[in-house]
Structure 1
């Protein structure tokens, strides 16, 4: 999602062990965290294994969070803060980063700590990865992403353990056993309701609901398994480390149909070598081409709700094309 914070990372030599559960300051411990003048510094100088912080450098990013690099004698850490939003947003990001990291496939920053700021707001501390000079090899990226989808499975169905955000829009991840139901209700339906509430757009709402009720023919002969998705994979969230290995960041993770990962392909720059390598690991299923725009629709609707009418025509055109195709 194009409004998220996108920055460079720098790796540090000795990694901290990734705990079985990421360290969160839950509400019952927020009072304790508030006793510290600077919980970020406190964590870095204790659990972060640093003895002193050498410098703190602001890092350029988007319009949602502030980002900084903390240089220490134990290496560098990347810290994002938000002075107006509680820890739940960063908890969702950390759980997603941790889930991707634990697949041991494509590289993602390791999350270390999420907590509340004493003066209000929240923070997340994570690994700092040194970016290379390019986005890396598309063929390698396609293979690594497919390996993540193949390795990251859920026995709970489609969804995620927490709701998170797509840009600044809430993303509902309630566990659902049926993919068509999940995508219709928690992806398209949620965005269509936002458009109705925000703009009074009954046209896109009504036509969108007609499409929601008639998705089944697009999935005939398709075996949909819940795969771990980055969820917001556009060019700003894709990079490579200093060795040229692909890196993905700023996720909006959930478990869903692997094809939904390509919903931001209209601004991700995926080429033929990417798809060829991807489908060698995750074979293309029948009707892939017919479903591509369906997954783009979610993101066009989200951009419409976030940035205004410039994205409305694209979203409505996709809806109308499917209504004609499905003859409903």
Structure 2
């Protein structure tokens, strides 16, 4: 999900509604043996995909429901495979906050239609509590460590329908700069030439990023890459209605400076600015601490 812009919501979803009118045989094959499917119905919301709840009972007669997200086309196939890999990485790290991914694949009846399936959780309309959520996010960051000590991510992830590529890099400054180069280039290609935009892009890449992020690893300082969700705002998290636990979804993960996660929290249009101070009680700001808010402002730019 992206910004809650009515102009976007009013557009037709680029996936046929018929894709969630039945459970395709390819989906049935990846669900547990003995599962009795009783129906499928729209559930959740997405700008780019169709989403639904598969209602079912397991072999023991207990309710065992699944969530399916459906895309179409070659781009859609890349998106569902990327989401499966992304959410599997987050699930392995903190399973209490992530719906267990089941599989991704392509429909048998409509080969140009592709799906991502995970366990279904009934979500409330609340955002996670400030007394709980920042501490749990800090715990994600403390638990994770890049297996090879590098920043970035080996595969492209998707913010909405747009790919994001933060290549594996030895320093966070290099990783973030390369990632933003791609994001800025995509924006320019979408919006068309603009001299002011191009000048601001150049200043950001050549001046601001080296100044703010270079300082994190200057004068003997070090930061460790940790796995972040990558797009953590109130549209990508909720509360499990049955357990009361915070849940996160639609991740665009990468191994990053932990403060990168807080970029969306700084945006006034979101509901998380007060969560920032609570987070740093559990994961203190990096040195130089006086530039903490400046770094968050920089991290907002990928949104």
Map Cα deviations across residues 181-205 of structure 1 (whole Å, 9 max, x no partner). Answer: 111121x211222233331123212
Runs of 4+ in 1 over 3 A off after TM superposition: none
Gap regions ≥5 residues in structure 2: 5-22, 59-63
Aligned-pair Cα RMSD in Å: 2.1
Distance in 2 between the 1:65 and 1:86 partners? 9
Alignment map for 1:160-175 (pairs within 5 Å): 160-175=153-168
Q: Name the CA shift for 1:282/1:201 in 2 (closer, same or farther; >3 Å).
A: same
| CA–CA separation in structure 2 for the residues paired with 1:166 and 1:133 | 22
**Aligned residue number for residue 10 of structure 1:** none
Tell me which of the two structures has the higher relative contact order, counting C-alpha pairs closer than 8 angstroms and 6 or more residues apart.
1
- Return the alpha-carbon distance in structure 1 between the equivalents of residues 238 and 76 of structure 2: 28
CA shift digits 1:238-280 (9 cap, x unpaired): 10112221111111111111111122221431143x3343223
Answer yes or no: is 1:191 the counterpart of 2:183: yes
- In the TM superposition, what is the alpha-carbon distance from 1:61 to its structure 2 partner? 0.9
User: How many pairs are equivalent?
Assistant: 263
Q: CA deviation digits over 1:11-64, x for unaligned, max 9?
A: xxxxxxxxxxxxxxxxxxxxxxxxx962012222xxx13332111111141221
Q: Secondary structure at 1:213's aligned position in 2?
A: helix
Q: Which residue of 2 aligns with 1:121?
A: 113
The one-character-per-residue Cα deviations of 1:52-103 (angstroms, maximum 9, x if unpaired) are 2111111141221111111111210111111224432112111221111112
Q: Are 2:36 and 1:42 equivalent residues in the alignment?
A: no
8 Å contact kept, 1:60–1:67: yes
> Is contact 2:87-2:249 (8 Å) kept?
yes
In 2, Cα distance between equivalents of 1:194 and 1:221 = 28
TM-score by length of structure 1 reads 0.74
1:101: which partner in 2?
Answer: 91
In 2, Cα distance between equivalents of 1:132 and 1:177: 41
How many angstroms apart in 2 are the aligned matches of 1:41 and 1:184?
43
Matches of residues 219-238 of structure 1 in structure 2 within 5 Å? 219=213, 220-221=215-216, 223-238=222-237
Q: TM-score, normalised by structure 2?
A: 0.80
Does structure 2 retain, via aligned residues, the 8 Å contact 1:146–1:282?
yes
Kindly indicate whether the alpha-carbon contact (under 8 Å) linking 2:167 and 2:178 is maintained by their aligned counterparts in 1: no
